[in-house]
Chains A and B, each alone.
Chain A
Amino acid sequence: MAHQSARQPARESASPQAGIVEPGPAPALVTRALRKSFGEKPVLDGIDLSVAAGTVFALLGPNGAGKTTTVHILSTLIAADAGRAQVAGHDVAAEPDAVRAAIGVTGQFSAVDNLLTGRENLILMADLHRLGKVEGRRRAEQLLRRFELADAADQRVMAYSGGMRRRLDLAMTLVGEPRVIFLDEPTTGLDPRSRRELWALIRRLVAGGVTVFLTTQYLEEADRLADHVAVLDRGRIVAQGSPAELKRLVPGGHIRLRFADARSLDLAAGFLEFSARDDESFTAQVPSDGAVSALRKVLDRLDAAGVEAEELSVHLPDLDDVFLALTGRGHEASAPDEQNRTAQPERKTTS
């Protein structure tokens, strides 16, 4: 366990200002020391976040880290035990209705009316936003087209596929033209194609100027969508930074080689730089960024030395690696370890 030496993201902040409140455009979302427990179990243990307006922010973490609880507090569904949160300039506890008027939420479980058609769902939202009949219909039609649901507009949502349902869910969130949008694990459970479609839709949203607060368990998703990522682990932010900064934390990808016997392994060790080796299974790891040229170099060297590898696989950094790097354990690790947690220095960004 190398958690004590886990590196924190290097802040190469482009903005020179420091301090809690920075000049310039007000952040769309700020939290200070947000805490929440369910019974005896602390779920959020002092969360400080700041999300600049018009950006995509990703809260990355495994199941049970507190992502959904954070979204529930910020979207006024539940109250925090301590700390403060402001969304679109309004305090979530003091002015919940002002916050609600500014936000749109697409939760982890679809919040659509299965008994109504897609169009009726959107018009229901328009009525609840009191848009008026004409404007409501206009916006519903526009969203149906934009989310490629026009053909299924008059079908009951019950008959929709998972991807269509999620698109409708997002479309319903947009009816009120929210300034801040919460997406709680928007692509969990979707097939790869629907996931890519949704990513494209989210990117187009941000082009329209809204702020997106996204939670995800996929590093790739955060990487593709977010300007800024915070890693949440057991209710604490363990790292923040741009996706590039976060990925630099990860020891990174490697090529994994398995040899037939100890002799081949020893031979290979002579000309390859192993980052790890296991004499029991005759396997070794060579650091790699996944580039084809690096892979070819390894193969060429093996060829030149006449050493045969039984098996070769390429591993790219994933959430597990990020977690391992930040917390000294994989994100599937189950046994809570209070010592590790409190020893973990918290990284705060101020810009």
Chain B
Amino acid sequence: MSSLTYAVADSATMLRRTLRHVLRYPAMLAASLGVPVILLLLFVGILGRTLGAGLNDGHAAGATHTGGYIDYVAPGIILMAVSSGCMATSVAVCVDLTEGIINRFRTMAISRAALLTGHVLASVIQTSVATALVIGVAVAMGWRPTGGPLAWLAAIGLLELLSFALTWLAVAIGLVSKTPESSSNTPMLIQFLPFLGSAFVPAASMPAGVRWFAEYQPFTPVNETLRGLLTGTAIGDNAWIALAWCLGILALGYWWARTVFRRGRLR
């Protein structure tokens, strides 16, 4: 067997291991699913009418937007499903490191990258499932996306790319975190970053300082692209900016994780 075959076989073994963890302790999956669903219920069911009204009256950029608030907020909620799903990986990676099993793997003649590859693949699969479920809940609550098959394909592609990129970032954070508890703090910030973007209300409606941040942070272009693809709002340059952000985060996360992992960390 070649070293590539080994790498594939070892990664598959590690993927099975991580997926088994997820199935055995679905709390993590439930949490990454629960947050977006609760926010969906809160923002659409309770705050939706007022937020939707405010959106239609006062906001010029939202002029094309005539549907209920759920049409506006659903893409942002889907994005949160992706970000919270990926960030659970930090904890899983950190637990592996603190439990010492990583030292066992390091002393075995297995592919070095297999452990990380297993975590990343498991996370992408897990996040895809969670995201699909969140989309299902949104549709059940009255979201009516208008995008055609091609638009959906592009949206799914963008979401998978984002989850791949965020997962590598999460792996790096997990690798540098000292304890599983602290490994869940930094990702929490990233998880709630969509809040400070155009997910819930348009960036243009925010106070100056926040608006500046909201307009230039990575989730906003992704959110606008998603919204455009699925509900037909204007996308503009956002697609390319979103793509650039995703690839940038992917490159940074992958490089960071690889560097830290190679350097090795012993307790």
Contact = CB atoms under 8 A, between A and B. Distances in A.
B94 to A, nearest CB: 14
- Chain B CB within 10 Å — which of A109, A115, A116, A176 has the most? A115
Contacts of B24: 115-116, 156
Interface in B212-232: none
Contacts of A224: none
Interface stretch (A3-11, A44-52, A71-79, A227-235): A71-79
Contact of A100 (B101, B109, B264, B267): B109
A148 B125 CA distance: 37
A98 B108 CA distance: 10
Contacts, number: 67
Q: How many A residues are at the interface, by size bracket?
A: 20 to 34
Contact of A77 (B1, B99, B107): B107
B141 interface: no
B110 to A, nearest CB: 5
B71 interface: no
B9 interface: yes
Contact of B13 (A77, A101, A103, A128): A128
A76 B106 contact: yes
A111 B101 contact: yes
A130 B111 CA distance: 12
B107 A105 contact: yes
B259 to A, nearest CB: 17
Contact of A107 (B9, B104, B110): B104
Contact of B108 (A72, A110, A115, A176): A176
B182 interface: no
Q: Which of A111, A124, A127, A128 has the most CB of B within 10 A?
A: A128
Given A111-B99, A120-B20, A76 B13 contact: no
29 contacts: A72-B266, A77-B107, A97-B109, A98-B109, A103-B107, A105-B104, A105-B107, A109-B100, A109-B267, A110-B99, A111-B99, A111-B100, A111-B103, A111-B104, A112-B101, A113-B17, A113-B101, A114-B99, A115-B20, A115-B24, A116-B20, A116-B21, A127-B13, A128-B10, A128-B105, A130-B6, A156-B24, A172-B104, A176-B108
Q: Which 5 A-B pairs have the closest CB atoms?
A: A111-B104, A100-B109, A101-B109, A109-B100, A127-B13
Interface of A: 72, 75-78, 97-98, 100-101, 103-105, 107, 109-116, 120, 124, 127-130, 156, 172-173, 176
